[in-house]
Structure 1
Amino acid sequence: MVGNEFAEVGVAVDHSGNGPRLRLEDYRTGRVRNLDALELETIIWLPEERLTQLLDPSTTRWREEPDR
C-alpha cells in the first residue's frame, strides 16, 4: 500500500496475463488499473509539465459525472 493524506493505493505485480503488469487499486473507490512495461516507460519519459497535467485529480476524479 502506498498512501498519504489524499489517497491510498494498493500496488502489486499481476502475473495472470501474457506478461507481468503493475496492478494499481484505489482503495477509496475499488477502481483497478493494470499498467504494462510500455505504459510505465511512457510515464517515465513524459515531460514534467505533461506529468503534472496528468496527475491533476481535479481534471477527472472529483466530478459528479459517471465514468466513461
Structure 2
Amino acid sequence: MVANEFAQVAISIDTAAHSPRLRLEDLRTGRVRFLDALELEAIVWLGDGHLRQLLDPSADRWREDGGTNDETRQT
C-alpha cells in the first residue's frame, strides 16, 4: 500500500493477462486500473506539465458526475 494524506492505493502485480501488469486499487472508492509496461513507460516519460494535469483532482476525481474518461468524453 502507498498512502499519504490525500490518497491510499493498493499496488500488486497481476499475472492473469498475457504479460505481467501493475494492478492499482484506490482504497477509498475501490476503483481498479491495470497498467502494462508500455503505459508505465509513458508515465515515466511524461513532462512535468502533463503530470501536473493528471494530478489535478478537479479534472475527474472530485466532480459530482464522477468525471469522464477519454472513451466517453464527447468533443
Give the TM-score band, short-chain normalised: over 0.9
> Which 4+ runs in 1 deviate beyond 4 A?
none
Partner of 1:12: 12
The TM-score with structure 1 as length reference comes to 0.94
Partner of 1:23: 23
**Superposition map of 1:1-68 within 5 A:** 1-66=1-66, 68=68
CA RMSD of aligned residues (A): 1.1
Aligned counterparts of 2:58 and 2:36: Cα–Cα separation in 1 = 25
The TM-score with structure 2 as length reference comes to 0.85
Uncovered stretches (5+) of structure 2, i.e. residues with no partner? 69-75
Identity of matched residues, %: 62
Aligned counterparts of 1:14 and 1:33: Cα–Cα separation in 2 = 11
Aligned counterparts of 2:12 and 2:66: Cα–Cα separation in 1 = 27
Uncovered stretches (5+) of structure 1, i.e. residues with no partner? none
